[in-house]
Structure 1
Amino acid sequence: MLSGTFSARAYSFFDTLVWVAGLNLMWIAFTVLGLGVFGAGPATAAAQIAVRKRSGGDAAPLLRGFASAYFRNFFRANILSLPVLAVAAALVLNWNYFSRSGGLFAQFMAAAIFVAAIFLAGAACYVFPMYARYELSLPQYLLMSSRFAVRHLAGTVILLFVSAAVVYASTALPGLIPFFSIGAWLFLTGWLCDRFFAANDDSVAAAAESAGRSAFQGASTA
């Protein structure tokens, strides 16, 4: 029994590892296909859709599902990702400028930009997992991901920690990047976000049910 359980867990682990490596390869290939900037958003959307399906037990072939989601969401995902990339680029440029300047004001601005960058990173972790789960207007994805990042600080800290760990591992072992780093980050953040969203949906549903029950009791009493 123990041997069988261990074998099943080992198989599941290595199967997931191979799937993550495939996801990594798909993301890089389709990002290059979209000339980098215009491919990163659709590739990330396709990856998070694939992660959510796998988390739900869907064993559909990765390549076919990824390619279908990539082309189906190409324009919407670009409209969603390009503003985020533009803000990120602006923060990096401004931080480089102020951090190299002397004076108290410049250092204060550099610190403020650094804090803003951390907030953007936390909110950005939610954007495409939210896109994969919910049907919203494009502005709402940006607004709701920002609100979720603030209201669920514990989850945001976990996502930032995972992101930092992946960056650190990739810096220490650059050979991980073409095989696992991006796929591992997409898989872990997508899986975690899906759990966070599910817990939030359950909480909202329970609160709505409680409010409805209270209103019914109040009406009955009246």
Structure 2
Amino acid sequence: MLSGTFSARAYSFFDTLVWIAGLNLLWIAFTLLGLGVFGAGPATAAAHIAVRKRAAGDGAPLLQSFAAAYFRNFFRTNMLSLPLMGVAAALVLNWNYFSRGPGLFPQLMAAGIFVAAIFLAGAACYVFPMYARYELPVPQYLLMSSRFAVRHLAGTVILLFVTAAVVYASSCVPGLIPFFSIGAWLYLTGWLCDRFFAANDESVAAAEPAAHPALHRASAA
């Protein structure tokens, strides 16, 4: 009995590793298909949709599911990702400029930009998992993810810690990047966000049993 349980858990663990590796390769391939800038958003959304389906027990083939979600959501997800990339690029450029300046004011500006970058990273962790779970107007994803990041600071800290851990591991072992790093980050953050959203939905339903939640579930995104 114990041997059978161990075998089942070992199989599930290695099956998940293989699935994550496949997700990693698909994200890279479809991001390149969209010329990088225009492919990253749709690929990230497709990955989170696939993660949510797997967490729900959906055994759909990864390649078919990923490709369908990528092309179906290509334009909407670029409307999400391009503004995020633009803000991130602006923060990096401004931080580089002020961090090299002499005096107190440039250093204070650099510190403020650094804090803003951390907030952006925390909010960005929620954007595409939220897209995979809820049907909202595109601008609402950016607004709701920012609010969620502030209201659920513990979850945001966990997501930032996972992100930092993946970045650190990848910097120590660069060979992980083409096979596991991106897929592992997408899988872990997607799984965690889905749990955070589910808990939030339950708390909202318990607090307002007669009202509908502000966020409406997407039907099999």
TM over 0.5: yes
- Residue 42 (structure 1) aligns with: 42
Return the alpha-carbon distance in structure 1 between the equivalents of residues 64 and 209 of structure 2.
40
Return the alpha-carbon distance in structure 1 between the equivalents of residues 52 and 103 of structure 2.
48
- Residue 141 (structure 1) aligns with: 141
Return the alpha-carbon distance in structure 1 between the equivalents of residues 69 and 208 of structure 2.
33
Return the alpha-carbon distance in structure 2 between the equivalents of residues 112 and 80 of structure 1.
24
Return the alpha-carbon distance in structure 2 between the equivalents of residues 69 and 210 of structure 1.
34
Return the alpha-carbon distance in structure 1 between the equivalents of residues 70 and 102 of structure 2.
45
- Residue 153 (structure 1) aligns with: 153
Return the alpha-carbon distance in structure 2 between the equivalents of residues 29 and 74 of structure 1.
15
- Residue 172 (structure 1) aligns with: 172
Return the alpha-carbon distance in structure 1 between the equivalents of residues 98 and 198 of structure 2.
41
1:210 CA displacement: 8.2
Return the alpha-carbon distance in structure 2 between the equivalents of residues 3 and 137 of structure 1.
50
- Residue 117 (structure 1) aligns with: 117
Alignment of 1:174-213 (within 5 A): 174-209=174-209
SS at match of 2:208: helix
- Residue 56 (structure 1) aligns with: 56
Return the alpha-carbon distance in structure 2 between the equivalents of residues 134 and 3 of structure 1.
41
Return the alpha-carbon distance in structure 1 between the equivalents of residues 72 and 118 of structure 2.
31
Matched AA of 1:39:
G
Return the alpha-carbon distance in structure 2 between the equivalents of residues 60 and 67 of structure 1.
12
User: RMSD over aligned Cα, in angstroms?
Assistant: 0.9
- 1:11-48 Cα deviation digits (max 9, x unpaired): 00000000000000000000000000000000000000
Task: List gaps (5 residues or longer) in structure 2.
Answer: 212-221
Moved over 4 A (4+): none
Return the alpha-carbon distance in structure 1 between the equivalents of residues 203 and 102 of structure 2.
49
Matched AA of 1:163:
T
- 1:41-82 Cα deviation digits (max 9, x unpaired): 000000000000000000100000000000000000001110
Instruction: Compare the two structures and name the one with the higher helix fraction.
Output: 1
Return the alpha-carbon distance in structure 2 between the equivalents of residues 183 and 167 of structure 1.
12
Matched AA of 2:2:
L
Task: List gaps (5 residues or longer) in structure 1.
Answer: 212-222
Return the alpha-carbon distance in structure 1 between the equivalents of residues 150 and 7 of structure 2.
41
Percent identity, aligned pairs only, is 85
Matched AA of 1:37:
V
Normalised by the length of structure 1, the TM-score is 0.94
Return the alpha-carbon distance in structure 2 between the equivalents of residues 81 and 191 of structure 1.
20
1:209 CA displacement: 2.1
Return the alpha-carbon distance in structure 2 between the equivalents of residues 127 and 16 of structure 1.
24
- Residue 216 (structure 1) aligns with: none
How many equivalent residue pairs? 211
- Residue 78 (structure 1) aligns with: 78
